[in-house]
Amino acid sequence: MEIINIIGIYNDPDDLIKGVKKVKEEGIAIKNIFSPFPVHGLPEILGLETRMPLLTFLYGVFGASVTFAFLYWTSVVSYPLKFGGKPLNSLSFIIIMFVLVIFVSVLFTFLTFFIRQKIGPGKKAVMIDKRTIDDKFAIVIEKDPAFTMEQLIKISNILRENGAVEVNEEIQPEGYKEERDE
Amino acid sequence: MYKTSVRGILIPGNKSYGQVANDILHPLEAKSPPPWWYIVASLAIGMTGFGIWGIYTTVTQGIGTWGVNNNVGWGMAIISFVWWIAIGHAGTAFSIFLLIMRQRWLTSITRTAEAMTVLAVICAGIFPLLHMGRIWNGFFILPYPNTRGPLWDNFNSPLFWDVAAISTYLMTSAVFWYIGLIPDLALVRERAVSKVKKRVYALLSFGWVGTARGWLRQETAIILIGGLAAPLVVSVHSIVSMDFATSVIPGWHTTIFPPYFVIGAIFSGFAMVMTLMIIIRHVFRYKDYVTQAHLDAIARIMVFISMFMGLAYATELFIAWYSAGEYEIFTFMKNRVTGTYTIAFWIMITCNAIIPQLFWSKRIRNNLMIMFAITIIINIGMWFERYVIIVTSISKDFLPSSWASYSPTVVEWANYIGTMGIFILGILLFFRYVPIIAMSETKGVLKETSNIEEVKHGNH
């Protein structure tokens, strides 16, 4: 069955935030919000959180321990060889560990971003309104078949009264499967 | 915090969000690049061809084709390597000022600075590989299980630290650049008219659509990677300097080397960014994005760094005298300040510590032609700095019987000029196929900085 979306288009990020706040107050479920650049304050209103900082920290710990284990094993266990009278388990391992912590955590953070966001080379971009990539902002609300006419008019009015310049009803394009923003 | 009027309006002209893309994408969406593009590109291809000849000669005949000898083992290749790595420091430095110190006026500069970083590090990486002589054995530098024991690398060697630091730096700066580029490539994809272009940019933009969740993750990833890259600004060139500082050669064996190299790296990187920004501002008519205030601010930073450079040179001389080590005194006083290489030394002082002092004058900071000339002079000066450090110290070390002179051969010049060709070619391709100014980030600062008047009058 076709899914129909109600789309409120905004010209300004401040109006968008006002609109989102109001829609949430009224208890209407928001499906997605599109913007051409990150709108500050929006994730807080929507209650979006990301655990990426924690993951990056864990990658760093992982990188440090694997690097140290490798350096220790090669220099002390596998083939102990004295260089310049320095101890086998040398303090200067810190330099390589430092660099490789950055290497591992940057690379894994980068990959995590793509895996969590489910984007990558070859992914087809299915957009609900193409203008949102350039200069428009959009609130997308999925039209529930159980919505009464009154409810629909209410949603439309809420969007319009809070700065939406257009309110459109469109059939969802095929292949659209973005994660919900709420 | 940054909504003050200290920096004034960042992007003048009351632009709408839609206009930003129109303004920035015109070189990318033009049917064909302008004539000068072809002229510079053919010049760069010529330089690259010369470089390929140099690399071919080096690889097939060995580094006997270079001017290096038993005593002066590090010649042009290491000079060029250090020079390029230093230029590659500005991209990350700028991004860190933007992200961590919240200097949002740098928004319009970081994309170019990062592209420059990636290219410069690629150019730098060519030289150590060539210097191995037998490039096909280059994988020996990596620790891998082998049948010789297995014998592992010497992990206490700064040369191995270099391998780790530079490959990390290349990977980090490339990843950091690309992750910020994805939304802009998506915009190019949606605006593209031709089918091929649409396909290519659809592939490159990874299916980005710009949902709230996507932006949150993208921004978090940028801040995390930027934060991780921040220590690299200091560490990469410190590690390069340890190639010198951990040796016992007079003139190299000094504790000032890591900070001195890092400051020098940021100095030459800023100079190169300034060179590029002046070109971009002029040829692509980005006057509203790269304003006079931007160039003025970078010039002020450069005066500051230039004084640091002067201080570092003076400190080196002072410590050589104060240490009363006869080899140190000979190297600095008889072989740099005076002696065979005195010209190189004084070019270095003039270009890096004296000429940039002209930036104190507001009139000079407002004159783009003079600024452009000074930035080029600084990079020449920085080349001479490496020449002075490397050649003077090893051409006359402890035993006069083993003194040798060094002059680069045409093959070495070919390698150096070749990397310049690669760099220029890369920059030209960047101008033509990539949005030169970060559009999504520029849109983010557009409103905050153009309503400064409102903030003042208290209706915000």
Among B19, B96, B200, B216, most A C-beta atoms within 10 A, so best to mutate, is B216
Among A93, A102, A105, A172, most B C-beta atoms within 10 A, so best to mutate, is A102
Non-local (6+) Cβ contacts of B199 within 8 A are none
| Cβ-nearest to A125 among B143, B179, B202 | B202
Structural contact between residues B155 and A89, judged by C-beta atoms closer than 8 angstroms: no
Question: Measured between alpha carbons, how far is B161 from A95 in angstroms, rounded to an integer?
Answer: 7
Q: Is the pLDDT of residue B94 over 70?
A: yes
Mean pLDDT value of segment B183-200 = 88
Question: Measured between alpha carbons, how far is B235 from B169 in angstroms, rounded to an integer?
Answer: 10
Among B15, B151, B168, most A C-beta atoms within 10 A, so best to mutate, is B168
What does the DSSP 8-state code read for residue A134? T
Reduced to 3 states, what is the DSSP secondary structure of residue A22? helix
Considering only CB atoms, which chain B residues are within 8 Å of A48? 212-213, 216
Beta carbons within 10 angstroms of residue B222's beta carbon: 19
**CB neighbour class for B119 (10 Å; exposed up to 12, middle 13-18, buried from 19):** buried
The reply to whether B275 touches chain A by the CB within 8 Å rule is no
- pLDDT, tens digit, 9 for 90 and up, residues B208-224: 888 888 899 998 998 89
| B175 found inside a domain | yes
Non-local (6+) Cβ contacts of B313 within 8 A are B348, B349, B352, B353
Q: Nearest CA of chain A to the CA of B287: how many Å?
A: 21
Question: Measured between alpha carbons, how far is B73 from B68 in angstroms, rounded to an integer?
Answer: 5
Question: Measured between alpha carbons, how far is B14 from B335 in angstroms, rounded to an integer?
Answer: 58
- pLDDT, tens digit, 9 for 90 and up, residues A28-87: 888 888 888 888 888 888 888 888 899 999 999 999 999 999 999 988 888 888 877 888
- Give the strand pairing for A166-171 and A137-142: unpaired
Q: Nearest CA of chain A to the CA of B229: how many Å?
A: 7
- pLDDT, tens digit, 9 for 90 and up, residues B318-359: 998 998 888 888 888 888 888 888 999 999 999 998 999 998
Reduced to 3 states, what is the DSSP secondary structure of residue B342? helix
Among A40, A117, A177, most B C-beta atoms within 10 A, so best to mutate, is A117
Go through the domains of chain A in sequence order and give each one's CATH number. Answer: 4-48+124-171 (3.30.70.120), 52-117 (no CATH)
The reply to whether B451 touches chain A by the CB within 8 Å rule is no
Q: How far is CA B136 from CA B48, B62, B142, in A?
A: 21, 12, 13
Q: Is the pLDDT of residue B6 over 80?
A: no
Structural contact between residues A179 and B211, judged by C-beta atoms closer than 8 angstroms: yes
Mean pLDDT value of segment A12-27 = 83
Sign of the torsion formed by the C-alpha atoms of B168, B411, B407 and B275: negative
Q: What is the mean pLDDT of chain A?
A: 85
pLDDT on residue A132: 84
Residue pairs spanning A and B at CB distance below 8 A? 190
Both tokens of B21, joined, read 């893309």
Q: How confident is the model at residue B452 (pLDDT cuts 50, 70, 90)?
A: very low
| B6 found inside a domain | no
| B168 found inside a domain | yes
- pLDDT, tens digit, 9 for 90 and up, residues A124-153: 888 888 888 888 888 888 887 777 888 888
Helix (H) or strand (E) holding A142: strand A137-142
- Print burial letters for B288-316: b (CB count within 10 Å at least 16), e (below 16): bbbbeebbebbbebbeebbebbbebbeeb
How large a percentage of chain B has pLDDT more than 70?
95
Q: How confident is the model at residue B7 (pLDDT cuts 50, 70, 90)?
A: low
Non-local (6+) Cβ contacts of A53 within 8 A are B220, B224
Q: What is the mean pLDDT of chain B?
A: 86
pLDDT on residue B448: 64
pLDDT on residue A145: 78
Task: Determine, for residues B209 and A126 on separate chains, whether the beta-carbon distance falls below 8 Å.
Answer: yes
Closest CA to A22 of A10, A5, A37: A10
* CATH assignment of the domain containing B129: 1.20.1630.10
| B278 found inside a domain | yes
Considering only CB atoms, which chain B residues are within 8 Å of A61? none
| Cβ-nearest to A52 among B206, B217, B440 | B217
Mean pLDDT value of segment B41-58 = 94
Q: How far is CA A71 from CA A68, B138, B154, in A?
A: 5, 21, 10
Considering only CB atoms, which chain B residues are within 8 Å of A14? 447
Q: Nearest CA of chain A to the CA of B155: how many Å?
A: 7
pLDDT on residue A178: 75
pTM for this predicted structure: 0.90
Residues 72-131 on B with a CB inside 8 Å of A are: none
Q: Nearest CA of chain B to the CA of A25: how many Å?
A: 18
| B8 found inside a domain | no
| B2 found inside a domain | no
Range of the domain at B438: 17-142+152-457
Question: Measured between alpha carbons, how far is B357 from B346 in angstroms, rounded to an integer?
Answer: 16
The reply to whether B219 touches chain A by the CB within 8 Å rule is yes
| B424 found inside a domain | yes
| B58 found inside a domain | yes
Phi and psi of B236, rounded to 5°?
A: -60, -50
Q: Is the pLDDT of residue B431 over 60?
A: yes
Question: Measured between alpha carbons, how far is B67 from B76 in angstroms, rounded to an integer?
Answer: 9
Per the structure, the count of domains in chain B is 1
pLDDT on residue B460: 39
Question: Measured between alpha carbons, how far is B62 from B130 in angstroms, rounded to an integer?
Answer: 9
Considering only CB atoms, which chain A residues are within 8 Å of B229? 102, 106
| Cβ-nearest to A133 among B171, B190, B202 | B190
Task: Determine, for residues A74 and B172 on separate chains, whether the beta-carbon distance falls below 8 Å.
Answer: no
